[in-house]
Structure 1
Amino acid sequence: MEDIVKKEVRQHNLITTARHEFSAVQLDIYFMVLSLIRKGDTAGITYEITVQEIESITGRNWNYQQLREATEGLIGKVFEINEADGLLQVALMSSAKYLRGQGKIQITISDKIIPYLVDLKRNFTSFQLFCVLSMKSKYAKWLYLQFSRWKDKGRISFEIDELKYLLKLKDPKGKESEQYKSWSTFKEKVIDIAVKQINDKSDLHIQYSVTKKGKKINRISFEITIKEIMDKIVEINENDDISIKLIERIKEIGIYDNAVIKKVIENSELRERAFKLLYEIKVKGDNIKNPAGFFRNALGI
């Protein structure tokens, strides 16, 4: 399989902005399948993902029951896509088959959604696959896609009720109870966690501000900055070429987690081992299918 830790993935903007609610596991399965889709793919093609690879990338272990429930839910749940002539409700997956004893899942995509996943020429969102897989919060994953869509503009804003609606925390018809009703709870449980994970684990840096209507906070605005490859995640001397080069090389293999890079930079033993591992990754090339996972496992971080 192509080295997915360096892979940029695209999806149609109508899916990026679609209202849906999936678990973190379901989103990871979706993103893995998305990484396998190629230009010209047609309905009926089966995509195969391996449990071992996705566990290595995400750093989370999934048991058979969790995966089975996740794919069952993906078959049953729908995207809501506002097309020009009306609202399309469509499931992402039409089938999932678990290959006994192989740790592999064969997945078939629903026919109606195929045009939104292949042959994209415009109106698409591009994002880094490894970054979104590294996040644990489902809200961080969804927001990261929104920020990736608007990263060139540098800003996106939402009415609070609109954002809760898109995150399926509030029913626009009022039939279901609103989750995280107060601003302070919504901020603590959703926004702050998502922003921290995006800042720590992705190619973007996010800051946000809020505005009030009367006494009530009614709008949130996000400032989006694309991280430079040399952003200063640790305090180093500007002339410390070794540290700068090491940061660059670590990010080249798909590791954006500031905590991990900081640990390597500040520990002389880890720095030395890191350079040896990066050299090994370069020499072996495609023989190391998951350089980021290999690097982290070898250093025990």
Structure 2
Amino acid sequence: MKKNNLVTKSNDLIEMPLKMSVVELRIIYVLISIISPEDQEFQRYRFKISEFAKLAGVKNKNIYAQVKEYTLNLMSHPFYINENLQVNWLASAEYFPNEGIIEVEFSPKLKPYLLQLKEKFTSFRLNDILKLKSAYSMRIYELLKQYEKLGQRTLKVQRLKELLGIEDQYPVYSDFKKRVITKAQQEINKSTDIEFSYVERKNGRKVDEIVFTIKTKAKQNVTILPATEAVSSVQTHTAHRLSDRLKKEFGLTTITIQTILKAYEKDYITEILDIVKIDVLSGRVHDIPAYTVAALKNDYRKKKTELDMELERQHTLKLEKEQKSQLQQQYYATVAEKLNQYIIAMSEEQLNIEVQAMLHSVADKDIEIIITDVRDPQLMSGGYFRQYLNKKYFSDYTFDVFMLDITTA
């Protein structure tokens, strides 16, 4: 059991609401990382309790009792796969104290979500997620990792809370942002293979959804070996890496992989796998192993130019969309600043006149205005007052006018 093992889960499993502790999540990630891509049935997975406890972050001196408590929780706290199916993570956990061994088995109902995954799944390195210290950070990491190739994911605030198992907590958005999102951003950006930024979208004055932008970090540099040692090491590493990739990403059997590595140059295999991966992401592939073998046999590199053009077009559209979103946020901030400066410059007499005019305009609506609150943009009355002033005095300052201002500045 190594930290560079992959954790592979179906996207349906990632999208299920879960309320689990940091240690419980770590245990599950460690257990999933032991599953072999070739397993057709769940095995009874055996490993050393001390090593398991270390990876899962169990630091209590009595690690046997502590691990037992957590595995019991994982067998007695079911969650919903769908509205008709409740399931526990573990079917059994057996301890062998004299050997220092634990043997666990997943619940059989989890087979479609963890075994023989050919499509609609997400993989990430165990080492990356074990670096995270918050359960919320772990869940947000896998929710974003799932959309890494697309580069963006939009989630309703309430839906995100449900997925994290905290739908009834943090009623004030600023608390949720501070304790969950900002903390996750700091941990994920610092410790994992991805980083994210986000933009808040409002419905009225309330933040309704969050647009996450996800970026893959550049690969870390490796130590340079002496020339003769480096050549041997690179060749061996490349073969192992290709073998691992063919097995875990493309679902090929060991015999098929050995045949492929003998029949084709490694650079050619890598080129073909990159093309197959693009086709898989586009949703055009249903049988990944068969498609991969056909792509190698028939040299699908001829499709590369067309695919590259499409990817470039999609990348350009994505950049344009991101730029427009950033400019819109800048526009809203500019309007808000203009309103704030306008209100600050008002005398009390002018303020009272405007407030009375606003009260008259909303007299037929069920809106309560507290006059002493209208200067504060964070309060409801202050929000209504700014909407009123914006419509009355700044309606001509449209997004197009804003764009003209910044392009001619």
TM-score normalised to structure 2 length: 0.51
Asked if 1:119 corresponds to 2:112, the answer is no
Matches within 5 A, 1:194-233: 194-230=184-220
- 1:49 aligns with 47
- 2:137 aligns with 140
Distance 1:220 1:130 in 2: 27
Q: CA deviation at 1:249?
A: 4.4
- 1:69 aligns with 69
Matches within 5 A, 1:45-194: 45-57=43-55, 61-62=59-60, 63-82=63-82, 87-170=84-167, 178-194=168-184
Equivalent pair of 2:10/2:117 in contact (CA under 8 Å): yes
- Per-residue CA deviations over 1:229-282 (Å, capped at 9, x if unaligned) read 15xxxxxxxxxxxxxxxx4349xxxxxxxxxxxxxxxxxxxxxxxxxxxx9xx9
Distance 1:49 1:196 in 2: 33
Matches within 5 A, 1:234-245: none
> Mean Cα displacement is larger for which, 32-41 or 161-170?
32-41
Equivalent pair of 2:19/2:166 in contact (CA under 8 Å): no
> Mean Cα displacement is larger for which, 97-106 or 159-168?
97-106
- Local SS of the residue matching 1:107: strand
Equivalent pair of 1:26/1:74 in contact (CA under 8 Å): yes
* Aligned partner letter, 2:208: N
- 2:367 aligns with none
The percent identity for this pair of structures is 32
Distance 2:101 2:126 in 1: 19
Distance 1:59 1:30 in 2: 12
1:29 paired residue among 27, 30, 43? 27
Distance 1:40 1:167 in 2: 31
- Per-residue CA deviations over 1:86-138 (Å, capped at 9, x if unaligned) read 64321110111122144432111111112211111101011111111121111
Equivalent pair of 1:45/1:108 in contact (CA under 8 Å): yes
Q: CA RMSD in A?
A: 2.4
Q: CA deviation at 1:65?
A: 3.4
CA 1:131–1:44: 2 relative to 1, 3 Å: closer
Distance 1:249 1:15 in 2: 37
Q: CA deviation at 1:227?
A: 0.3
* Aligned partner letter, 1:222: F
CA 1:179–1:77: 2 relative to 1, 3 Å: same
- Per-residue CA deviations over 1:20-48 (Å, capped at 9, x if unaligned) read 11111111111111111123435462112
Equivalent pair of 2:23/2:56 in contact (CA under 8 Å): no
Q: CA deviation at 1:52?
A: 2.9
Distance 1:49 1:130 in 2: 18
Q: CA deviation at 1:58?
A: 5.7
* Aligned partner letter, 2:51: E
Q: CA deviation at 1:188?
A: 1.5
1:248 paired residue among 222, 247, 252? 222
Equivalent pair of 1:15/1:79 in contact (CA under 8 Å): no
- Local SS of the residue matching 2:3: helix
- 1:18 aligns with 16
Bigger helix fraction: 2
- Local SS of the residue matching 1:32: helix
Figure out how many residues of one structure are paired with residues of the other and give that number. 225
Instruction: Indicate the structure (1 or 2) with the bigger Cα radius of gyration.
Output: 2
CA 1:216–1:123: 2 relative to 1, 3 Å: same
CA 1:147–1:227: 2 relative to 1, 3 Å: same
TM-score normalised to structure 1 length: 0.68
Which runs of 4 or more aligned residues in structure 1 lie more than 6 Å from their structure 2 counterparts after TM superposition? none
- Per-residue CA deviations over 1:168-200 (Å, capped at 9, x if unaligned) read 111xxxxxxx21211111111111111111111
Q: CA deviation at 1:81?
A: 2.4
Equivalent pair of 2:58/2:66 in contact (CA under 8 Å): no
Equivalent pair of 2:23/2:57 in contact (CA under 8 Å): no
Distance 2:80 2:64 in 1: 29
